[in-house]
Structure 1
Amino acid sequence: MAATGGTSNAQPSADFIRSEIDAYGFRRPDDFDYETYEQFMSQYLSVLARRAGKWDKVMDGKKNVKKSFKVKRYVRKGISNEYRGLVWMYVSGAEAMKEQNPGMYQRLLDGPKDAELMEVIKTDLHRTFPENIYFCNDSTVSKRTSLQNVLVAFAHHHRADGYCQGLNFIVALMLLILKDEESCFFLLETLVKNILPAYYTPQMAGLKTDQEVLGELVKQKLPAVAQRMEKEAVPWSIPTTKWFICLFLDVLPIETVLRIWDCLFYEGSKILFRVCLSLIKQNQDAILGASSFPSLIESFKTVTLHSRNTDCHTFMQNVFADSQPLSRALIEKFRTKSNEDETN
């Protein structure tokens, strides 16, 4: 899994850029495209420096941040790593939830445990980013205990739904950014309750609805792609479930994922549709060129592997340009229609 470096004022050296391990502890794959990455970083470093300076002025020593048009604009252009965790907590509402529930996290950790839940979680721990120095088996700086704690507390707080696989990866990345278990717990709570309700449940009703919504949006904005999907009878759940459930984690470079998450925690689920539409639009020639059901599925896999995804700054500019206009009212209209169709 590739990443595109940190977001501090310090400029990484050539040795760092060529390092086998990225800024977030991920080992780069053997086929990592260092040449494309270096070309990107040679331009992106100046962007990082400018963004860091602007965030310094916005924060100005403050320990919180409030939503505003200016902050939204800054979030879309990328949150400086120094402030990313703090900004996520405040703009998502997770910090307010944390303040309203003092002691909840520790009480969940100290309370009685369900043996079956514990076993499922422990099994997932070893599957979580084995290529990352913080989560691999031989780690000397392991975050596995913290990962287990957050997942255990969350699962026991949601006993009716149980534990949903995929959350381990989301929490692991949260821990790399926030570095605090309790904050990760409440950020996860905010994500599953307020931002993506009914995604991480046994029925995954919210996820299924939003995949139907994506299908309707593609019909409207990329009709040729929609027709191709219908011709081969490919449901949107096949190519996009991993996109939605893991929030593009493990299918896009880490720095690009973090830029998406910046917008997710500020603007909500609409960013997921924007990213999906942009990925499909940017790669529609390959999708339309697929000649069969298997090749069509394969074309969606290659969508996320394109070298252009490394340039997270241009990627996000395309995300907003490619999906305009996209109103929240339209998304809600399609959600309502999907739910009514399901009921009837």
Structure 2
Amino acid sequence: MNEYVAVLSRRSARWSKLLKRKEQVEKNTKVKRFVRKGVPKDHRARIWMASSGAQEQLEKNPGYYHSLLAAEHEAKLEETIRTDMHRTFPDNVQFRNTTEPCLQKALFNVLLAYGHHNQAVGYCQGMNFIAGYLIIVTKDEEKSFWLMDALLGRILPDYYCPDMLGLKTDQEVLAELLQEKAPAVSGGLGQYPGIWTLVLSRWFICLYIDVLPVETVLRIWDCLFYEGSKILFRVALTLILHHQAEILAARSLPEVCECFKAITRTQFTMDCHTFMQKIFTEPGRLSMATITNLRKTCQEHILSEESKLKL
């Protein structure tokens, strides 16, 4: 930890120097390199807002967030969101009713506003953890709302729709990538129908919250907002590639599931600086164009299979 604190201190000084010279956060090779090495917490909200396009949307739509809160609310949406309030980070003191200020009110507002903003999605489980993380980082409801819009509307389309087509598609995309990059694991787990949904849905739907250590998740999100959803695949591939031996040693479905839980809580994932370096080397080349093409193929396959089931 002492070594990592020293790394953070050096990174913070370099970020401060970079941002002092520029009003706008540009997208270029230097900033990308800086993001991959970690965004200091003092600058994280600004970088996420700028790199995701959320800041641009906030400025284009002044007062929009507060108009959503002022509008008449759907009773069912309110009730559904309230049900999940006490389940959101129960171990985090900032979300306890006894804390002042309690972040539950801000969390409720962001989720309610987003439910009205994107009525095709409304609210579903998993969104509360994402909104909670955003509020912790930004300390601002409106910024958290627009970051939610960037994530759910542009970076992760169709993850949270009722049919979760985007999530199903990306699980198949990862399975396809593993056939190429880890054929032994892909073949070994092929004997368990639906295995990828079983072990990976939580990784993707919660964007690794409560799956990986907190600091590691924040570092992943730095890159997610800057580089897009291919980062989710890089993380998953690295976890699996790095632990192929343990996964292949599992002899039953319960053992496989337990192994996938265990590989997320190791020294490898705790050392977030080394882990983040590995996600850009271990999986090898992985372009957004490759992901886009695989998504198209996998989505066509899913829709075809679902269509057959309806006949």
Q: TM-score, normalised by structure 1?
A: 0.86
Residue 55 of structure 2 corresponds to 95
**Partner Cα distance (1:103, 1:83) in 2:** 24
Moved over 3 A (4+): 61-64
Aligned partner (choices 126, 144, 151) of residue 104 of structure 2: 144
Residue 296 of structure 1 corresponds to 256
Kept after mapping to 2: 8 A contact 1:239/1:300: yes
The farther-off stretch of 317-326 and 82-91 is 317-326
Counterparts in 2 of 1:188-337, with a 5 A limit? Answer: 188-337=148-297
Residue 134 of structure 2 corresponds to 174
Q: Deviations over 1:188-244 (max 9, x none)?
A: 001111100000111110111011000000100000000111023343111011100
Kept after mapping to 2: 8 A contact 1:134/1:142: yes
Is 1:78 aligned with 2:38?
A: yes
Shift of 1:63: 5.0
The farther-off stretch of 54-63 and 109-118 is 54-63
Shift of 1:50: 1.1
- 3-state SS of the aligned residue for 1:308? helix
Q: Deviations over 1:118-168 (max 9, x none)?
A: 011111111110100100232233111111110110011122332111111
Is 1:154 aligned with 2:114?
A: yes
The code of the aligned residue for 2:252 comes to: S
Kept after mapping to 1: 8 A contact 2:94/2:102: yes
Shift of 1:293: 1.3
Residue 15 of structure 1 corresponds to none
**Partner Cα distance (1:214, 1:310) in 2:** 23
Q: TM-score, normalised by structure 2?
A: 0.95
Q: Deviations over 1:37-92 (max 9, x none)?
A: xxxx1221221111011101111165541211100000000001110000000010
Gaps (5+ residues) in structure 2?
Answer: 305-311
Gaps (5+ residues) in structure 1?
Answer: 1-40
The code of the aligned residue for 1:175 comes to: I
The code of the aligned residue for 2:70 comes to: D
**Partner Cα distance (1:161, 1:233) in 2:** 28
Shift of 1:246: 0.5
Q: Deviations over 1:4-59 (max 9, x none)?
A: xxxxxxxxxxxxxxxxxxxxxxxxxxxxxxxxxxxxx1221221111011101111
Kept after mapping to 1: 8 A contact 2:247/2:259: yes
- 3-state SS of the aligned residue for 1:134? helix
The farther-off stretch of 216-225 and 226-235 is 226-235
Is 1:65 aligned with 2:25?
A: yes
Q: Taking structure 1 as reference, are residues 64 and 177 closer, same or farther at Cα in structure 2, changes over 3 Å only?
A: farther
Going by fraction, where is helix more abundant, 1 or 2?
2
RMSD: 1.2
**Partner Cα distance (1:115, 1:139) in 2:** 27
Kept after mapping to 1: 8 A contact 2:97/2:104: no
The farther-off stretch of 198-207 and 225-234 is 225-234
Kept after mapping to 1: 8 A contact 2:235/2:279: yes
**Partner Cα distance (2:34, 2:132) in 1:** 25
Identity of aligned residues (%): 49
**Partner Cα distance (1:232, 1:47) in 2:** 42
Kept after mapping to 2: 8 A contact 1:63/1:86: no
The code of the aligned residue for 1:113 comes to: H
Shift of 1:268: 0.4
